[in-house]
Amino acid sequence: MAAVKILLFAVAVAVALSASAADPDSLQDVCVADLTSAVKINGFPCKSNISEVDFFSDILSKPGATNNTFGSLVTGANVQKVPGLNTLGVSLSRIDYAPGGINPPHTHPRATEVVFVLEEEQREVASSRDCRLQQPAAGDSVHGATLFAASPPVPDNVLTKAFQIGTKEVQKIKSRFAPKK
Pairwise pLDDT comparison (125 vs 122), residue with the higher score: 122
Quick one: which of 177, 107, 104, 105 has its CA closest to 141? 107
Return the bridge partners of 72, or none. 97
Where are the strands (E) in the chain, listed by range? 72-77, 92-97
What SS3 state is found at 85?
helix
pLDDT more than 70, % of the chain? 76
For the domain made up of 29-36+50-121, give the CATH fold.
Jelly Rolls (2.60.120)
Q: What's the CA gap between 140 and 75, in Å, rounded? A: 26
DSSP secondary structure letter of residue 75: E
Contact 40, 131 (CB under 8 A): no
Q: How much is the pTM?
A: 0.56
pLDDT digits (tens, 9 = 90+) for 7-22: 888 887 777 776 666 6
Residue 113 assigned as binding residue: yes
Per-residue pLDDT at 126 exceeds 50? no
| pLDDT, averaged across the chain | 78
Query: Helices 156-163 and 167-177: crossing angle, nearest 10°?
Result: 110
Taking Cα atoms as reference points, which of 124, 53, 38, 123 lies closest to residue 83? 53
Torsion of CA 175, 149, 105, 95, to 10 degrees: 130
Q: Is 108 annotated as a binding residue?
A: yes
